[in-house]
Amino acid sequence: MANGSMISKAEAKALVDRFKANPTKTTNACQAMLYDLTMIEQLKGAAPEGTITAVRVYFGMNEDFSLCTVLVGCDSAGNNYYGAGDDMCLDYGTRCPSDCGDDTLGS
């Protein structure tokens, strides 16, 4: 499986809302999240050419209160872009810890 998965705006909102409601309730520390570049390109490619010029990263929280991140493409004005498609957000990256690779920033 790739590091990352496209999710719907509704799924992304639920993750972000849970984090906002419980910012100190996380069950485990998360230093970083890894996303395949192909997943970010998929996020960008789901919009008309030139629409997505940046990526906004939100903190979210899974149902087990583990911290996660949600990536949303943004237009040149900094507005979130969801487009007509349902799966326009990115989640399910690989967590560090436990999969940190050559973790020179976190060590």
Phi-psi region of 68 (alpha: psi -120 to 50; beta: other; left: phi over 0): beta
In a domain, 88, yes or no: yes
18-74 pLDDT, tens per residue?
A: 988 988 887 777 778 888 898 888 888 888 888 999 999 999 998 988 888 999 999
In a domain, 101, yes or no: no
Cα distance between residue 107 and residue 104, in whole Å:
6
Query: Structure pTM?
Result: 0.80
Specify the number of domains making up the chain. 1
Residue 59 or residue 104, greater confidence: 59
pLDDT exceeds 60 at position 106 = no
pLDDT exceeds 70 at position 75 = yes
In a domain, 105, yes or no: no
